[in-house]
Amino acid sequence: MKLQYKSTRGGNLVDSSFAIVKGIAKDGGLYVPTEIPKINKPLRDLINKNYKELAFYIMNKFLPDFNDKELLDCVEKAYNQKFDTEVIAPLIEKDDAYFLELFHGTTLAFKDMALSILPHLLKASKKKLNIKDEIVILTATSGDTGKAALEGFSDVKGTKIIVFFPKEGVSKIQERQMITQRGENTYVIGINGNFDDAQNAVKTVFNDKNFNELLKENDHMFSSANSINIGRLIPQIVYYFYSYLNLLKNNKIDNNEKINIVVPTGNFGNILAAYYAKKMGLPVSKLICASNENNVLYDFLNTGIYDKRRDLKLTSSPSMDILISSNLERFLYELSNRDYKLINNLMKQLNNCGVYEITDEMKKGLNDFYGGYADEEKTFDTIKKVFNKYNYLIDPHTAVAYSVYKDYKKETSDETKTIIASTASPYKFTKTVYNSINDNKIDDDFKLIEKLSKYTNTSIPKALKSIDKEEILHKDICDVEDIKNVIEKILKV
């Protein structure tokens, strides 16, 4: 039986190309594969594959309606010299932990791993489905998605990209990266509100039936570059296998030896990819879900109750400042043995009351995970300790992960080898990083790029060298209520 996709909330089967073009299902659910494919050979047989070859091998299993040439072409265009290292995702060993550096793409965060390929998957899907409408990528971003999506889609024919970011919820460097974006088809708008406000408002427009009809009449259609799109999720599975194979190849682990994976988590996309990898046959013991002070997931994994009724806190790891982790719905779907009625119910409760509790049967499945969180103090302290001990700089998101890992070890004495998903370059968050390791506190993100480099004797990533001199091309700001108007104006509908 060919692998296809269906919504977590029920409905028809569709091909992967359709799911990629649509982004989110009509009923508001997320597309999930009819089964999670298995790796049916010893992993050791794969150790000599380079990143591109492995990406093809893994993704091919999820995208059966793409022919080899189409998929190879996408992979080729994505994982090339846009990355500043040929290995694409280096693994850095520091004692008992291996930092999987996922920030070597153009925008210095792990979102590049998937967003460098999504536009190509989307273009190929569109062609395959003979869709002539212009695709409008509509995205709300907590910082890193926005820039990575803008880079990926900039000047891609047949697409426009509109990015909304919370004015008060991204770092200065993240903001500057976005508002200096080039490309005729790119639009960037700051909104007065936080990430959840932005994401909810975008979701509402996305699902607005009348508005979608209006677009159709004008030869446009919406799609999403958020991690709800399976075209984002699938490429993220690749690097978990890649890092495992790296350990295997270098004799750091034995055949079938289990590892732990720690992921600094916001929307639950990156860690869900690790969960899918485990289901495919990657030997994973614990999936360690690390949150910042917005610790909804920590509470959920420890109680089975998801409760978003709290204020969003702005932290130094802004890409994790999220109260509704969209991708959790896909995990719940697996946990419930694919009971779409139950998922509908839970999501209704979340929408109406802001809280739900999963069944006792489902709670048993939470054992795959360990949930922890780090407050701001711990985050800063971790950056400092890791730098002092290993002369290795980590960004605040990665620091949250490492801090939770240390707590986990203390609590369990588990000696399993562990991979830490390192999700952003420390240069993207210079203020937090510099001030964590230096007593002379300085408040200027841009000046700090140079200073951080001198102080730590590390080199400035190419993408940031002249960021403070680039022309600001996007100046619009709007209120949450005006998002729809702004989109109408851009699309002239």
- Which residues belong to the active site? 111
- For ligand PLP, give the closer residue by CB, 191 or 287: 287
Among residues 109, 202, 335, 394, the one that binds ligand PLP under rule CB under 6 A: 109
Query: Cα–Cα distance between 271 and 290 in angstroms, integer?
Result: 10
Q: Which stretch binds ligand PLP (CB under 6 A): 105-113, 153-161, 178-186, 456-464?
A: 105-113
Q: For ligand PLP, give the closer residue by CB, 190 or 266.
A: 266
What's the per-residue H, E or C state across the chain?
CCCCEEECCEEEEECHHHHHHHCCCCCCCCEEECCCCCCCCCHHHHCCCCHHHHHHHHHHHHCCCCCHHHHHHHHHHHCCCCCCCCCCCCEEEECCEEEEECCCCCCCECHHHHHCCHHHHHHHHHHHCCCCCEEEEEEECCCHHHHHHHHHHCCCCCEEEEEEEECCCCCHHHHHHHHCCCCCCEEEEEEECCHHHHHHHHHHHHHCHHHHHHHHHCCEEEECCCCCCHHHHHHHHHHHHHHHHHHHHCCCCCCCCCEEEEEECCCCHHHHHHHHHHHHCCCEEEEEEEECCCCHHHHHHHHCEEECCCCCCCCCCHHHCCCCCCCHHHHHHHHCCCCHHHHHHHHHHHHHHCEEECCHHHHHHHHHEEEEECCHHHHHHHHHHHHHHHCCCCCHHHHHHHHHHHHHHHHHCCCCCEEEEECECHHHHHHHHHHHHCCCCCCCHHHHHHHHHHHHCCCCCHHHCCHHHCCCCCCCEEEHHHHHHHHHHHHCC
Binding mask 253-282 for ligand PLP (x = CB under 6 A): -----------xxxxxxx------------
Interface segment toward ligand PLP; rule CB under 6 A; list 59-67, 104-112, 330-338, 461-469: 104-112
Shortest approach of ligand PLP to residue 271 CB, angstroms? 6
Binding ligand PLP by CB under 6 A: which of 161, 201, 320, 335? 320
Minimum separation from the CB atom of position 265 to ligand PLP (A): 4
Binding-site residue total for ligand PLP (CB under 6 A)? 17
Contact 3, 13 (CB under 8 A): no
Asked whether position 229 contacts ligand PLP by CB under 6 A, the answer is no
Query: Which amino acid, one-letter code, is at 469?
Result: K
Angle at 233 (CA atoms; ends 232, 237), nearest 5 degrees: 125
Binding of residue 423 to ligand PLP (CB under 6 A): yes
Q: Binder to ligand PLP among 75, 424, 449, 464 (CB under 6 A)?
A: 424
Spell out, one character per residue from 382 to 401, where the chain touches ligand PLP: x when CB under 6 A holds, - when not: ---------------x----
Terminal CA-CA length for the chain: 42
Of 107 and 159, nearer to ligand PLP (C-beta) is 107
* Nearest residue (CB) to ligand PLP, 262 versus 347: 262
Does position 239 bind ligand PLP by CB under 6 A? no
Closest CB to ligand PLP among 70 and 445? 445
With CB under 6 A as the contact rule, the residue among 180, 319, 430, 435 that binds ligand PLP is 319
| CB nearer to ligand PLP: pick between 141 and 185 | 141
Q: Considering the complex, what minimum distance in angstroms separates the CB of residue 144 from ligand PLP?
A: 3
Please list, residue by residue across 306-321, b when 16 or more beta carbons sit within 10 angstroms of its beta carbon and e when fewer do: bbbeeebebbbbbbbb
Q: Considering the rule CB under 6 A, would residue 111 count as an interface residue with ligand PLP?
A: yes
Question: Least CB distance from residue 112 to ligand PLP, whole Å?
Answer: 9
- Judged by CB under 6 A, which of 7, 107, 116, 227 binds ligand PLP? 227
Is residue 205 part of the contact set for ligand PLP (CB under 6 A)? no
Within 13 A of 150's CA, how many CA atoms are on the CB side?
A: 28
Rounded least distance, CB 361 to ligand PLP, Å: 25
Residues 128-167 that bind ligand PLP (CB under 6 A): 144
Between 4 and 199, CB nearer to ligand PLP: 199
CB of 267 to ligand PLP, least distance (A): 3
21 contacts 223 by C-beta, under 8 angstroms: yes
Residue closer to ligand PLP, measured from CB, 109 or 284:
109
Distance in Å, CB of 109 to ligand PLP, minimum? 4
Closer residue to ligand PLP in complex, CB, 178/320: 320
CB of 141 to ligand PLP, least distance (A): 9
CB of 111 to ligand PLP, least distance (A): 5
Task: Report the interface residues with ligand PLP, using CB under 6 A.
Answer: 109-111, 144, 227, 264-270, 319-320, 397, 423-424
